[in-house]
Amino acid sequence: MTMNGKAMHWLDERLGLSAIREVAAHKTVPVHSATRWYYFGGITLFLFGVQVVTGILLMFYYRPTTAEGFESVRFIMTRVEFGWLIRSIHSWSANLMIFVAFVHMFSVVFTHAYRPPRELTWASGIVLLGLLLGFGFSGYLLPWNQISYFATKVGADVAGSTPVIGGTIARILRGGEDVGAATLTRFFALHVMVLPILTAGLIVVHVLLVQKNGMSTPPWISAARVRQMKFFPNFFLREAMVWYGALAVLGALAAIFPWELGEKADPFASAPKGIRPEWYFLAQFYTLKLIPSHVWIIEGELLGILGFGLLAVCWALLPVWGVNRAGEARTRLVSGAGIFLIAYLAIFTYLGYVK
């Protein structure tokens, strides 16, 4: 037996790896016109891995205080060897990860992979998307520059206008009445401990569900008639290519468009003109701006928040209303809703930018 074979046998006797190998050997991926969309879940996972690695590296130098937050990031960008690279990759990968997560979600919508038995995979995915947005929101504040400080202020104010519990939510988020040192500390705790633990756990659930239920075939293709590609090694090799390509893209973005440092946050200065949150919150932000201050007797902002909450719940329940009694997907309804949602997000994000 080869060295490699001996080592595997030793591990297998103790860990029962052969069971995993059996499963792995049997995992297949259907080959059809929409197969390319299967990559996007993996890309999201890969980018999350990049975030964890670069995030841990950044923690070696970052200090989560108002006095040193900005300076430590400046230190990383200017004095630490390749600090600019690690930090820029972390910032770019964060944005790319959220974008790819949306692509992944919409690809599931249009290939109708949410239908039974994959309802829980969908639900866990929606929660994961929310967690990723939480990562984005909490991480954005950490460099403690003007833009991130005021964007967080605006965001916390919006969260605070939730009915009944809004004030408490805002106070817990901010760690006080204003965004300040207390906010920074708890955002840091959320960003490096709470959210990672929750996300990691949910990712395990999500991925296990995918393994358990296999890859879904779109309803317009007969599952029995479709060709299957073995996951190992065929799809895996392709996925490795894609992940490597993503790495090249990240490196290029970091080197050619390094992430900005900005100016240190000054709570006493007036908000920079045209302050707005990061692009993934822009559509909701612009929508809230459009709603008049009072609709009938209800406060406009309140209506907006309730609207978004309702939308999120409905979307999480997609497998309920998007599937008929017979367990078939209501393809036209759901695809229509998907197109509508994409159009809304795209147009309002664009408007949020130019206005």
Partner 1 sequence: MASNGCSGECAGCKGAGAPGSESRRTMLSWLLGGGAFASMASFLYPVIRFLNPPAVTEAAVNEVDAGKVQDLKPNSGKIVKFGNKPALLVRVSDTEWKAFSAVCTHLNCTVQYRDSTRQIWCACHNGTYDMSGRVVSGPPPNPLEEYAVNLRGDEVVISRRA
Partner 2 sequence: MKTLLVVLAPVVLFAQAAKDTCVECHTVMDGAIQRPALLIKDDIHTANGLSCSDCHGGDRTSDDPTVAMSRAKGFVGKPKRTAIPQLCAKCHASPDYMRRFRPQQRVDQFELYKTSVHGKLLASGDENVATCIDCHSVHDIRAVKDAMAPVHPLRLPDTCGRCHGDAQKMAKYGIPTNQLEHYRTSVHWAALKNGDLSAPTCASCHGNHGAKPPQVESVAAVCGSCHVLFAQLYEKSVHQPIFSAASGGGGCIVCHSNHAIHQPSTAMLAGPQAVCSNCHEPGTPGAKTAQQMAQWLDGLDAALKHSEAVLASADKYGMEVSEAQVRLGDGRENLVKARLAMHAFQPEEMHKPIEAGMAVAGETLRAGQAALHDKDVRRIGLAISVFFIAITVVALLLVIRRLEANGSGYIEPSI
Quick one: which segment of 126-134, 207-215, 221-229, 296-304 binds partner 2 (CB under 8 A)? 221-229
224 binds, among partner 1, partner 2, none (CB under 5 to 8 A by kind): partner 2
Identity of the residue, 262 or 272, whose beta carbon is nearer to partner 2 in the bound complex: 262
- Residue 352 to residue 350: CA distance in whole angstroms: 5
* Minimum distance, C-beta of residue 115 to partner 2, in the bound complex (Å): 21
Give the pair of three-digit tokens for residue 355.
């206005």
Q: Taking CB under 8 A as the rule, does residue 77 contact partner 2?
A: yes
Residue of 164, 158, 157, 161 whose CA lies nearest to 178:
157
Pick the closer one to partner 1 by CB: 85 or 323.
85
Which of 10, 220, 232, 244 touches partner 1 by CB under 8 A?
Answer: 244
Exposure string of 81-105, with b = 16+ CB inside 10 Å and e = fewer, is: eebbbbbbbbbbbbbbbbebbbbbb
Among residues 49, 59, 82, 346, the one that binds partner 1 under rule CB under 8 A: 82
- Residues recorded for the chain: 355
Q: Rule CB under 8 A: is residue 268 a binding residue for partner 1?
A: no
Is 318 among the residues that bind partner 1 (CB under 8 A)?
Answer: no
Helix ranges restricted to H, the chain = 3-15, 17-26, 39-59, 69-78, 83-110, 119-141, 146-160, 166-174, 181-189, 195-213, 236-256, 279-290, 300-316, 318-321, 331-354
345 binds partner 2 per the rule CB under 8 A: no
Q: Pick between residue 60 and residue 232 the one whose CB is nearest to partner 2.
A: 232
Among 169, 247, 337, 345, binds partner 2 (CB under 8 A): 247
Phi/psi for 30 (5° steps) reads -65, 140
Compute the C-alpha angle 288/294/299, nearest 5°. Answer: 70
> d(Cα 347, Cα 355) in Å, to the nearest integer?
12
Residue 32 contacts which entry, partner 2, partner 1, none (Cβ below 5-8 A, type-dependent):
none
Q: Residue from 47, 86, 210, 215 that binds partner 1 (CB under 8 A)?
A: 86
* Cβ proximity of 69 and 33 under 8 Å: no
Q: Which stretch binds partner 1 (CB under 8 A): 83-91, 99-107, 123-131, 344-352?
A: 83-91
Residue of 44, 114, 89 whose CA lies nearest to 258: 89
Which residues of this chain interact with partner 2, rule CB under 8 A?
28, 31, 74, 77-78, 84-85, 88, 224-230, 233-234, 237-238, 240-241, 244-245, 247-248, 251-252, 255-261
